[in-house]
Chains A and B, each alone.
Chain A
Amino acid sequence: MSDTDPRDQLVDHLPALRAYAINLTRNVATADDMVQDTVVKAWTNIDKFQPGTNMRAWLFTILRNTFYSSRRKTNREVPDVDGAFTARLSEKPAHDGRLQMADFQKAFVQLPDEQRETLVLVGAAGFSYEEAAEMCGVAVGTIKSRANRGRKRLAELMHLTEDGAMELTDKATIAVVTAGGSSAF
């Protein structure tokens, strides 16, 4: 083995990069275009990657810049949301019940870009607030505020209240269990 080429690590980050792109664009075809552009850019500019730093964060940042610059260019305010995002998910029932997942997805795609991407970075992809702030080029407080507003909006859209949060989970679970088991029992 020769010295490790950071380009060999790119492949490991493709699924996460694509998941991020899908959440950002809400359109699988557009997401794949973005991932393709990002990989080509990363490959060509690999000398700008500092070994030892977080490659996933670097790739996400490239993808993010690609997304926002293309959005500026096309000046498209209304995103082209496709159904594949939710449809594919509903094929795979989660153990908590697919009803709730589908509802969650519907609520999530309604969030503004900034809140959606912040929640994906810190809520799903496991980046710290500090990392997300650096990736988005904003203050840590801005990231925290976007995450808080995003979570609050999701809670409203899903009618989660302080008292009802767990109750809804139970109801949804019972609903799924009942629907699935009604013929058998």
Chain B
Amino acid sequence: MSHKKTDPKTVQQIDENLKRVFDVQLQQELPDRLKDLLAQLKARDAGKDTGAEK
């Protein structure tokens, strides 16, 4: 039997798996280079903006 649509139970199970995988990935610790990136960007901008005040 070949149905055009996947049955709702299977869809639900697949989506639960997708969410579970995504949640595990969400909980992974960010690598340092990404953790530091925003601070670096902030520092770079601060250097630019406050240049006149120095």
A-B complex is real: yes
Are B34 and A35 neighbours in the complex by a CB distance under 8 Å? yes
- Which of the listed residues B6, B11, B19, B30 has the most CB atoms from chain A within 10 Å of its own CB? B6
Are B21 and A14 neighbours in the complex by a CB distance under 8 Å? no
Are A39 and B38 neighbours in the complex by a CB distance under 8 Å? yes
Main SS at interface, chain A: helix
Are B6 and A18 neighbours in the complex by a CB distance under 8 Å? no
Q: Which of A15, A101, A124, A165 contacts B13 (CB 8 A)?
A: A165
Q: What bracket does the count of chain A residues touching chain B fall in?
A: 35 or more
- Which of the listed residues B9, B14, B27, B34 has the most CB atoms from chain A within 10 Å of its own CB? B14
Are A155 and B34 neighbours in the complex by a CB distance under 8 Å? no
A101-B17, A120-B18, A123-B19 as given contacts; A14 in contact with B10, CB under 8 Å? no
Q: Separation in Å of the B23 CB from the closest CB of chain A?
A: 8
Complex CA–CA separation, A146 to B18 (angstroms): 15
Are B20 and A94 neighbours in the complex by a CB distance under 8 Å? yes
Is A10 on the interface with B (CB-CB < 8 A)? yes
Are B34 and A89 neighbours in the complex by a CB distance under 8 Å? no
Residues of B within 8 A of A135 (CB): none
Count CB-based A-B contacts (< 8 Å).
Answer: 99
Would you give the 0/1 interface string for B13-39, flagging 1 where the beta carbon is closer than 8 Å to chain A? 111011111101111101101100110
Is A133 on the interface with B (CB-CB < 8 A)? no
Q: A7-B41, A15-B26 are in contact. List 18 more A-B contacts (CB 8 A).
A: A18-B34, A19-B22, A19-B28, A23-B22, A23-B25, A39-B37, A39-B38, A40-B37, A96-B20, A100-B17, A104-B17, A108-B18, A125-B22, A155-B6, A155-B10, A165-B7, A165-B10, A165-B13
Please report A residues at the B interface, Cβ cutoff 8 Å.
7, 10-11, 14-16, 18-19, 22-23, 32, 35-36, 39-40, 43, 88-89, 92, 94, 96, 100-101, 104-105, 108, 119-120, 123-125, 148, 151-152, 154-155, 160-162, 165-166, 169
Please report B residues at the A interface, Cβ cutoff 8 Å.
3, 5-7, 9-11, 13-15, 17-22, 24-28, 30-31, 33-34, 37-38, 41-42
List 15 A-B residue pairs with CB atoms under 8 Å apart, sorted by A's residue number: A10-B38, A14-B30, A14-B34, A18-B30, A36-B33, A39-B34, A39-B37, A40-B41, A101-B17, A108-B21, A120-B22, A123-B18, A154-B14, A162-B10, A169-B13
